Amino acid sequence: MPDEFTVTPWEVKGKVDYDKLIVQFGTQKITEELKQRMRNLVGELHVMLRRNVFFSHRDLDLVLNDYEKGKGFFLYTGRAPSLGMHIGHLIPFIFTKWLQDKFNVNLYIEITDDEKFMRNPEYTLDQTRSWAYDNILDIIAVGFNPDKTFIFQDTEYIRNMYPIAVKIAKKLTFSEVRATFGLDVSSNIGLIFYPALQIAPTMFEKKRCLIPAGIDQDPYWRLQRDIAESLGYYKAAQIHSKFLPPLTGPEGKMSSSNPETAIYLVDDPKTVERKIMKYAFSGGQPTIELHRKYGGNPEIDVPFQWLYYFFEEDDNRIKEIEEEYRSGKMLTGELKQILIDKLNNFLEEHRRRREEAKELVHVFKYDGKLAKQMWERIHE
C-alpha cells in the first residue's frame, strides 16, 4: 500500500500519518484545551505548538498540574554526537529553550559519546568525544540559561550516575532492551547496558521530567515508564514533534549520512542557496504558465513546510505565502528565495553565538550554578 510508513527509533520512512501514529504508539494528541492551559500559564504559545509541529504527548497534563501546584518539573533532552549537526537536529533544542525560558526550570542535556562509539564499529572514542565538543557549541548557541542547564558527557559523568544506572539496569531484561533498541545477539554488551544510562537523567530530581523529542524516540521512554515508580520516581512525560521533512521530499526525515537531504549548521550562504534551489522538493507546476494557472501545493512543498514549521513565525505572513503559492501568484523560485534568506539569517546568527559559546562550555559543563550542584551529587 502506498500510504504505509515506518517509524522506529532507528528508521523513519514513508509519508507519516501522525494521527495513525498516535494510535499506534498509544500517545495523546495535544488538544486545543491543553494548548490554552499552556497559554494561560505562560502568556503565549511557541510557533511549533501553534502549528502542531509538537502534536502529541504523554502526561503533559500532569506536568502542567504539578507546575500549577508549585511542585515544578524539569526538562531532559540529549544528543548522540556526530560530525556536524543539521537544522533538523536543532528543532527540539529550540523548543526546549522556549520551555525553559517560559517555565524557568532546570534542564539536563546528556551527550552520549559512549553510545555513539559503541554503536558504530568504525568510530573511535576520541572521535565521538571530539564531536561531542563541537555539538555542545551548537547546543549552547541556542541560548539556554547557564545557571539552570547542565550539559554532561556520559564518559565524564558516569561516576555520579552509576549507582542509579545499576538500579535501573537490574529492572530491565535483555529481551525488553533488545526489542526496544533494535539489538540482536551480535550487539556488543555495552549497548545492552546503555539504556540504563539514558534513563538515569529522568531520575536526577524527585519531580516529573518532561522530554521534548521527535516521536520516533517515544519507545525508549516506555521502558522508563514501566520501572520508574518501582524506584520511587515519576514516569517520564514527553512532548513529541513531527519530523522536519528532508529537502528531497515530504517523506521520511533528514539524514546526516545523506548531505543533499539536509542543511548543515556550517553550510555557507552559497551552499544553502545551491541546496535549496537544486534539491528542495517543490509542490509547484512544471512550467511558469501552468503554475500561474493551477498554483502550487504547499502540503508537499518542502520550502513551504520548513517556513511553516519554524522559519516564518508570523502567522499572518505564512497564511499570505500559502495563499499566494496556492493561487499561482507566487512562483516556486520566489518561495525558495524566501526560505534561503530566512535560513542564511538564522545560520549567520547561530554561528556568531557558536563562537561565543567557546567561552561558555566550562559554565554549562562544570562551573555554572546547576553544573556545580550536579558534580557534588552521586545519584543513588
pTM recorded for the entire structure: 0.95
SS3 label, residue 237: strand
Q: What pLDDT score does 14 carry?
A: 86
Which residues, listed in sequence order, are joined to residue 109 by a DSSP beta bridge? 77, 151
Q: What pLDDT score does 130 carry?
A: 96
Backbone angles phi, psi at 213, to 5 degrees: -165, 170
Q: What pLDDT score does 173 carry?
A: 95
* Domain spans in the chain, listed from the N-terminal domain onward: 6-247, 259-355
Residue 242 has a CB neighbour count (10 Å cut-off) of 21
Q: pLDDT tens track of the chain, all 380 residues?
A: 456 888 888 788 888 999 999 999 999 999 999 999 999 999 999 999 999 999 999 999 999 999 999 999 999 999 999 988 999 999 899 999 999 999 999 999 999 999 999 999 999 999 999 999 999 999 999 999 999 999 999 999 999 999 999 999 999 999 999 988 889 899 999 999 999 999 999 999 999 999 999 999 898 899 999 999 999 999 999 999 999 999 998 888 877 778 888 999 999 999 999 999 999 999 999 999 999 999 999 999 999 999 999 999 999 999 999 999 999 999 999 999 999 999 999 999 999 999 999 999 999 999 999 999 999 999 99
Q: What pLDDT score does 1 carry?
A: 42
**Superfamily of structural domain 259-355:** Tyrosyl-Transfer RNA Synthetase (1.10.240.10)
Q: What pLDDT score does 77 carry?
A: 97
- CB 140, CB 360: distance < 8 Å: yes
**Superfamily of structural domain 6-247:** HUPs (3.40.50.620)
Q: Any idea what the Cα angle at residue 307 is, between residues 43 and 3, rounded to 5°?
A: 105
- CB 164, CB 200: distance < 8 Å: yes
Backbone angles phi, psi at 61, to 5 degrees: -60, -35
Reported as a single tens digit per residue, the pLDDT across 296-316 is: 999 999 999 999 999 999 999
Q: What pLDDT score does 123 carry?
A: 95
Q: What pLDDT score does 3 carry?
A: 62
Phi/psi-derived region of residue 328, left when phi > 0, alpha when psi is between -120 and 50, beta in every other case: left
